[in-house]
Structure 1
């Protein structure tokens, strides 16, 4: 089996180095057709693998290893969706609540499960939300958009929207707020202190500042004050590469630093050294083992996204001898193939196509 190993920008530098291609979340969607009919070993959280499977035709998508229990993928799963009880879970209930508000548009954040995306009017990754909002505001300056996703991204969009469309209303859901734990955990005081040290050493105008909009409110306010660049992972990679500034402070997960370093050695990069645990779950040894298994007998199991609400998945075991069973009833399964119900896939594709 000829495999293409694809990694997300947030994967560790070691995994990126053994990958054939490294992309951000939007890049995976926008470049999916390049992998039509291919076999892809995907290194990232599971919703990204679902997006690739959905947007490419006749692609086979494999995941180096998953931990699953009772139809629920525990790892590698986006911490925004479920993270040790610290973040509430985005569910179909949020879509139903949003519909009752009768807004002009309902958008779901790119990190949400595919079946939920498919029940909304489209997907947003941060910056793409502005295009949808601008289009509505052209004919209805008092329009209403419901954004189902990260509370900090939604707050950033709300502030930026108010600058251009002061009468437009953004409603963020879920009401109790979901967030990205690694980004929310960035120490604001330490980050700002690092900025001040760099600005003093190099001159403020010579230091680049960028951050992911999932950062906490203190960092978001600081970013606005300093005119920082806010963007998704592809943008966070491109911005320093296209700038004359040699020194950069970057507020996001450490994998971005590794990615930029592979593309240039002309930048001095600083970051809070934050790791995304679900991304770190995939290691080089797991990737190499998955390659060996897939090339010698095929996948250990197939995980089917069959249900619109949790538990989303059914698991079909092909090679039980390769599975590690846990005491709590869960299983660690290497070299897993992903499959998605046709209806869920088609609805998801329609929503994801907004990003194209």
Structure 2
């Protein structure tokens, strides 16, 4: 069986190890969703990952409601992403942009319009805005006539990602965001060809993936799914019935890799309280399968590879606090402790000041 430190081909990208950096929202862009210089240092510090998947990045103002998250729909955003990707490449790394449409998980105070979703539904709780938290709003159903425009937004963001120097893109279809709102039946109440039976609910995912592939190619297109349990209020009465056909469809399209987010009982953005589907998805998805969530040690990650289910592991919070994570795992060195108070703050503290191994050793 392969180890975490063996190389792997993820579509068109040759990764020197199987330790991926999962997408991590950090809120260091401008109010206009333009990347800032500190982001180049942050990502370059983590370039020893087999592949970096960027923080979730908006495909449009409609789809990006997280304050100070970056976007990929304007020329200014593209121009300011370029120093980030250049810094990663100069440090020997590889980076995909994660393409994000949040659907109903936004507030009009941020995006300047009413949220859209598969149906007229509302998330419980409150949305983050520039002025603090506000109650989520009831989304309007995305009209059938708007689907071509949405597909254009994904294609435009993909072209921009490539122009900005990214090595590929990952479609965010997980965590209760727009595509997940179409996939799962407690959020998708539609009666047209995008609702009802599972083959209809996976239609938008298929059309988005096909459109992105038409721009980036199969080998530079990946997808993220969260196939188990509730996530930000989005759930399904029969996950196997929708996620196995979705994975088989993505396999047939020949995407670079599929990442599955399967949080445990204490996970964020949902909790898995049903048997994990990854072993069954492994049987229908022929490409590289990446597992994410709750991996915080070499032993746990290697066990997932040894099981034959995973081909690589995407580490999230461990990479947030430990920029040289692959080397720490290789020699079984202690990881840095993360500070949740600075996850979404605006400055360099808790962002680019986590020590590398030699610095941590000297400090100890």
Fold conserved (TM > 0.5)? no
Of Structure 1 and Structure 2, the greater helix share is in: 1
Higher strand share: 1
Larger radius of gyration: 1
For the aligned pair, the TM-score class normalised by the smaller chain equals under 0.3
Bigger relative CO (Cα 8 Å, ≥ 6 apart): 1
Q: TM-score, normalised by structure 2?
A: 0.27
